[in-house]
Structure 1
Amino acid sequence: MNSLPLFRPSVEAGDLVAVSGQIGLVDDRLAGGGAAGQTEQALANLLAVLDAAGLAASDVVKVNIFLTTMDDYTACNEQYNAVFGSEPPARTCVAVHQLPFGALVELEAWARRR
């Protein structure tokens, strides 16, 4: 019996879709490039989950960002702005003690079907 918890990349709740936390994994390894590289990959992973649900970045209404240090805020923010542009969704960014697989960044999101 597998002892790992069941992972669902997204869950639908009416017209809302909750996207589970995404870290910067590529082929079971963390992306290189520090917080910027991991944020870029985590965003790509998040967009892939949204795409599989028939949604896009423009459908995202809320993002929660978890950083292991606020020293990475600027690097993360630059990548975030590159994806969400001039009208980004609501956002929370907090520092946490640690993240899965030693990641520096994790993002989760809520999107709305229009």
Structure 2
Amino acid sequence: MHQREAIFPENPKRHALYEMHGYSAAIRSGDLLFVSGQVGSREDGSPEPDFASQVERAFDNLKATLAAAGCTFDDIVDVTTFHTDPENQFDTIMKVKQNVFSAPPYPNWTAIGVNWLAGFDFEIKVIARIP
């Protein structure tokens, strides 16, 4: 049986946010990395007010967490995103997504509409294979 190992991005300010809320940025189990939902939060944990910037920052926060485990976006196999207004947000999200995942093979992707994300409008969680 594999032991779980907590993974955190290098930014110590973000560590305080994870500790305050009682969860890990990601868990390594064997050669898999399970990344908690990443939002478009600023350094102090507050939401980025512009939606497009919030989505970009969520991907930046995801990138930092992946990097802490030695992964990149290319190692992602499964994506789940949460959206507060999917119909109106879709085009913006797709523009950012196409910059991050610009060529096949694309990861699996499930998008879920929700009515609350603790002040955020977009959240992304992934599973990656650690190289």
The alignment's TM-score, normalised by the length of structure 2, stands at 0.78
Q: Which runs of 5+ in 1 are unaligned?
A: none
Identical counterparts, % of pairs: 31
Aligned equivalents of 1:18 and 1:57: distance in 2? 13
1:74 lines up with 2:91 in the alignment: yes
Correspondent of 1:48 among 56, 64, 68? 64
**Cα shift at 1:12:** 1.1
Runs of 4+ in 1 over 3 A off after TM superposition: none
Aligned equivalents of 1:96 and 1:32: distance in 2? 18
User: What pairs with 1:1-114 in structure 2 (closer than 5 Å)?
Assistant: 4-27=20-43, 28-34=45-51, 36-70=52-86, 71-87=88-104, 88-100=106-118, 102-114=119-131
**Cα shift at 1:33:** 2.2
Q: Which runs of 5+ in 2 are unaligned?
A: 1-19
Aligned equivalents of 1:31 and 1:103: distance in 2? 8
CA RMSD of aligned residues (A): 1.2
Aligned equivalents of 2:69 and 2:130: distance in 1? 10
Instruction: Find the residue that maps to 1:25 and give its secondary structure.
Output: coil
Instruction: Find the residue that maps to 2:22 and give its secondary structure.
Output: coil
